[in-house]
Every structure is written in C-alpha cells, then in structure tokens.
C-alpha cells in the first residue's frame, strides 16, 4: 500500500516515529503541502493522511486511485466527506486522543487570567520586586475561583473533563449542550467563567457575538479551546476593550495562522496561544498510534473510526 502524509510536521516535528505506519506500506511524509503540489504528491497513493491540508470534491475527483483518507485530527471538515463517500473512499478521524491535554490547557488559560503568573514573573526579573518598598505586590487583580460558577458550553469528552477540573478547584459547574443542561442565555448570565467545548457546525458558527457577550457578567472570563469561528472575534475584542467582560483566553482563531492585525491581539486582557492545547507529546503520541491503527484496520478490511 502506498501511503502519503501531506502535512506531518505539526504531528511529528521530530520527537515521534513514523515506524508503525512504515510497517504497513511504502510511506512518504511531507512536512507541509501547498495547494500547488497537492495533486502531484497524492497522485498514485492508496492512502492519504492529512491534518489541515484540504481535500475537496475536485481534488478527490482527480485522484481516482485513492481508497482511504485519514484525518490526523478529530475534526474532519478539512475533507469533503460526502464526496469521498460517493467515490468509495473511506474517511477516518482520530477521536479522544487529546482530552486530558486540551482540558489542561483550558484551565491553564483560566489560571493565567486569574493570576498573570507570566507577567509577574517577568516583573521580578526586571527588578521590580527588588526595588519594591513592600514585601508583596501585584500588577493585576488576583482572582480566586472557589465558589464561582463555571459555565461549560458543550458536554463532550473535553467539556466533561474540563468541568471535572473546575469542580476540583471548588467551582460550581453549569452546562449547556444541544440535548441537555440549561439554556445558553441562562448560562452566560450566571457564569463567572464561560468555556467553549462544542464542535463547529453551521448552527454554532458565531455562537457568541455581541448580543451574547452583553449577557455575560462584567467580571466574567471567556475561554475558547475548541474552534475559532464559534466566536465573532471583532465582537469579543469590542467587549473586552469596553470592559463588558473582564478577560478572555483563546487557543484557536477563525483563521490559522492568523492575519496581521487580528483584533484580539490588541484587545484588553486577552490571552492568545497558537493552537497548542493538542500538542503535548503524550497527546500527539496517542494521535500517531490511533492514526496508524486506523490505516491498519482499513488494510485488514475492517476500518475503524469511519466518519463517512
């Protein structure tokens, strides 16, 4: 079986091994694949693995020999799954590999908003503590989470794990999903922290815009480690700059990598990290293992984690 990995660098920048995949066939790994080279690289492959390189209907039509498409992620909107199904191409994803890591980064953003540990550490390095007249000082308000309300939007694996950590911090958890929990408006009004853990569908795109942000407490924090387009970024920046909410921590943006001048880069008390919640070595190792098992299962005639 000829296997082509179109964009393997983010999954494996050198600290993991492709040996498991190489045991299944002839493997070619590209760090990144620009659109201009996609067909040239994928042509003749029986199996193609992609993370963020898109494969739409026209591309699939130009690859008549393709039998398998493995998405190196949980979300698979980068692939036209319906077009693949029409052509008899099996599409799989990798679920549940990053639950612990994403929940951990979500809480890390929250704790940084509460304490701004990095800024205080840099302050000490600059000599501000040495020059201080007092034995203690703080440059931002310090926030205790115990007793406050954590609003979890989405109750999948990651949402539930994040909620468990919030409870361990002494927070009261309320939740909203399509099938259970309280209404979104009630959650926004009650919560001291709103954390997004829902998938991106047409109905969830722009889930939080100006009218929803207006319902949040002025002291509340917003967290998004799910999908960038869930939030209208211009509206979030406006809400932060106007003091409508107290702060935000986001690991995802609507365009990645972002264009220069994203409104959140200069927004008041807004932490933006470069989509790293999934990137612990442990999580990437699980992703590699499951992706390899997906290819193996397909080769054995019993595909797993099929999404189309």
Q: Which residues form the catalytic set?
A: 227, 256, 275
Torsion sign over Cα 105, 108, 112, 114: positive
What is the C-alpha to C-alpha distance for residues 172 and 147, in angstroms, rounded to an integer?
6
What is the C-alpha to C-alpha distance for residues 275 and 227, in angstroms, rounded to an integer?
10
215 contacts: CB under 8 Å, gap ≥ 6 = 185, 188, 189
Rama region for 116: left / alpha / beta (φ>0; ψ in -120 to 50; rest): left
186 contacts: CB under 8 Å, gap ≥ 6 = 174, 176
Facing residues of 150 across strands?
A: 173, 193
Q: 206-240 burial by CB neighbour count: b if 16+ within 10 A, else e?
A: ebbeeebbebbbeebbbbbbbbbbbbbbebbbebb
159 contacts: CB under 8 Å, gap ≥ 6 = 152, 153, 175, 177, 195, 197, 198
């Amino acid at each position: 079986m000829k296997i082509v990995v179109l964009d393997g660098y983010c999954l494996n920048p050198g600290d993991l091994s492709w040996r498991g995949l190489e045991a299944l066939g002839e493997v070619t790994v590209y760090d990144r694949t620009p659109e201009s080279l996609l067909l040239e690289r994928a042509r003749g492959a029986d199996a193609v693995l992609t993370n963020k390189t898109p494969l739409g209907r026209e591309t699939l039509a130009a690859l008549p020999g393709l039998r398998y498409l493995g998405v190196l992620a949980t979300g698979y909107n980068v692939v036209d799954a319906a077009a693949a199904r029409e052509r008899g191409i099996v599409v799989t994803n990798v679920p549940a590999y990053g639950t612990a890591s994403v929940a951990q980064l979500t809480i890390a953003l929250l704790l940084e908003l509460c304490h701004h540990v990095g800024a205080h550490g840099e302050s000490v390095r600059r000599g501000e503590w040495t020059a201080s007249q007092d034995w203690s000082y703080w440059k931002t308000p310090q926030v205790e989470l115990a007793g406050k309300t954590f609003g979890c939007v989405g109750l999948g694996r990651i949402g539930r794990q994040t909620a468990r950590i919030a409870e361990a911090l002494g927070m009261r958890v309320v939740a909203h999903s399509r099938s259970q929990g309280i209404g979104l408006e009630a959650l926004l009004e009650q919560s001291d922290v709103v954390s997004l853990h829902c998938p991106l569908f047409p109905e969830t795109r722009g889930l939080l815009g100006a009218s929803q942000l207006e319902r949040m407490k002025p002291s509340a924090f917003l967290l998004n480690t799910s999908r960038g387009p869930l939030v209208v970024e211009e509206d979030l920046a406006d809400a932060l700059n106007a003091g409508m909410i107290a702060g935000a921590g986001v690991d995802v943006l609507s365009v990645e990598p972002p264009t220069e001048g994203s409104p959140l880069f200069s927004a008041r008390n807004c932490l933006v990290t470069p989509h790293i919640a999934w990137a612990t070595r442990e999580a990437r190792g699980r992703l590699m293992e499951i992706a390899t098992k997906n290819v193996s299962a397909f080769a054995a005639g019993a595909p797993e984690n099929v999404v189309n």
